[in-house]
């Protein structure tokens, strides 16, 4: 469900930063999430995803000068009011109880708890209700964690790597349940390394890099930001060294992959690449020009940001050496 942004934000990060010693884990994050949005939080390891979730849930406080607000309140107050449900990687489950008993405890503790049977059904774990928690598989434990996150009528659901350990069928069932939560007007924020999930599920994608917000938009917009397209075709012969060099030299080509006579290019100007291709005197069979997937766009954007960060320091080093 995509929000029209007509209502007040569910979540606001206002110049939110976090420093651990000399490490700037989060650097002036400014972003708002709205009711009904399903938002994916992406970033390489060390990008600041875990710190962002910690600040959001009130587990840590932002540095002075920054604020995080949930429904106009502090994170801790919003959690205390039962407006936030969370599924985190850290923290174990109670092994010595049955699944139904654990979920019932979560429902009883929530200020706006749901009936236990409803939660078991919504989380797709009714068949696990009488199992001992300590006997569950990793994927089943994740589904129980999800049940705990939706044990009450929360307005914001926060998920950290929610489908880790789940098989394909369990993942599909999980995301179907999450869509139902978002359709009810809840805001869903999830961090994941499975970029295909973000592509399929999220209304909006946030990309963090070294503690800063690098990109914010729909999956389609994030792909467009990468500014790269794929050009694929098959030649009538396996390219020799001369033709390979000519293909690499085509305008816009950023990467060339060869698999026999099959050619795959990544180009920053696909139109110019294809136009110049025909001047080489070859006939490309099955020519296709397609956009990047979200994973490829993510790698392109973060690699570009990393190169931009490194280049100034290299240039400074060269200038210092020349003096």
The predicted pLDDT at position 253 comes to: 94
- Residues 126 and 254 placed together within one structural domain of the fold: no
Domain for residue 266, yes or no? yes
- Residues 203 and 151 placed together within one structural domain of the fold: yes
CATH number where 61 lies = 3.40.50.300
Please tell me the distance from the alpha carbon of residue 228 to that of residue 269, in angstroms, as a whole number. Answer: 7
- Residues 121 and 186 placed together within one structural domain of the fold: yes
Q: Per residue in 262-280, pLDDT tens?
A: 999 999 899 999 999 999 9
Q: How many Å is the Cα radius of gyration of the chain?
A: 24
Domain for residue 154, yes or no? yes
Smallest CA-to-CA distance from 90 within 54, 55, 46 is with: 54
- Residues 205 and 237 placed together within one structural domain of the fold: no
**What is the phi-psi region of residue 100: left when phi exceeds 0, alpha when psi lies from -120 to 50, beta otherwise?**
alpha
- Residues 167 and 108 placed together within one structural domain of the fold: yes
The predicted pLDDT at position 213 comes to: 95
| Beta-sheet strand order (sheet of 262-267) | 253-259, 262-267, 229-234, 285-291
Q: Per residue in 297-322, pLDDT tens?
A: 888 888 888 888 766 555 555 445 44
Domain for residue 121, yes or no? yes
Q: Tell me the pLDDT band of 260, cut-offs 50, 70 and 90.
A: very high
Higher-confidence residue of 92 and 180: namely: 180
Domain for residue 286, yes or no? yes
Instruction: Say which residues have a Cβ less than 8 Å from residue 213's Cβ, sequence separation at least 6.
Output: 29, 30, 31, 206, 207
From 204, 224, 244, give the residue that closes a domain: 224
Cβ proximity of 35 and 6 under 8 Å: no
The tokens of 70 are what? 């949930």
Half-sphere exposure of 228 (CA within 13 A, CB side): 21
Domain for residue 66, yes or no? yes
- Residues 191 and 238 placed together within one structural domain of the fold: no
The predicted pLDDT at position 306 comes to: 85
pLDDT at 250 over 50: yes
CATH number where 263 lies = 3.30.70.100
Domain that holds residue 269: 228-291
- Over range 28-57, report the average pLDDT: 94
Domain for residue 316, yes or no? no
- Residues 201 and 284 placed together within one structural domain of the fold: no
Structurally, the chain folds into a number of domains equal to 2
Q: How far apart are the first and last CA of the chain?
A: 58
- Residues 235 and 153 placed together within one structural domain of the fold: no
């Amino acid at each position: 469900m995509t929000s029209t942004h007509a209502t007040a934000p569910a979540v606001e990060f206002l110049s939110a930063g976090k420093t651990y010693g000399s490490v700037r884990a989060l650097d002036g994050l400014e972003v708002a999430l709205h009711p009904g949005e399903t938002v994916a939080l992406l970033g390489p390891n060390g990008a600041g995803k875990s710190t962002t979730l910690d600040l959001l849930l009130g587990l840590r406080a932002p540095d002075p000068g920054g604020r995080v607000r949930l429904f106009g309140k502090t994170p801790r107050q919003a959690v205390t009011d039962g407006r936030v449900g969370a599924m985190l990687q850290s923290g174990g489950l109670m092994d010595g109880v049955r699944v139904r008993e654990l979920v019932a405890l979560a429902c009883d503790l929530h200020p706006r708890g749901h009936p236990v049977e409803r939660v078991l059904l919504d989380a797709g774990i009714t068949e696990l209700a009488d199992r001992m928690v300590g006997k569950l598989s990793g994927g089943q434990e994740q589904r129980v964690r999800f049940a705990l996150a939706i044990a009450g009528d929360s307005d914001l659901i926060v998920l950290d790597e929610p489908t880790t350990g789940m098989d394909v069928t369990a993942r599909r069932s999980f995301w179907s349940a999450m869509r139902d939560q978002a359709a009810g007007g809840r805001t869903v924020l999830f961090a994941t390394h499975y970029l295909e999930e973000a592509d399929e599920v999220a209304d909006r994608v946030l990309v963090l890099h070294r503690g800063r917000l690098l990109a914010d938009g729909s999956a389609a917009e994030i792909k467009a930001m990468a500014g790269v397209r794929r050009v694929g075709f098959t030649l009538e012969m396996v390219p020799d060294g001369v033709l390979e060099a000519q293909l690499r030299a085509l305008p816009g080509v950023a990467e060339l992959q060869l698999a026999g006579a099959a050619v795959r290019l990544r180009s920053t100007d696909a139109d110019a690449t294809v136009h110049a291709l025909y001047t080489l005197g070859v006939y490309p069979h099955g020519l296709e020009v397609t956009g990047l997937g979200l994973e490829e766009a993510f790698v392109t954007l973060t690699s570009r940001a990393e190169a931009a960060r490194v280049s100034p320091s290299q240039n400074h080093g060269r200038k210092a050496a020349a003096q």
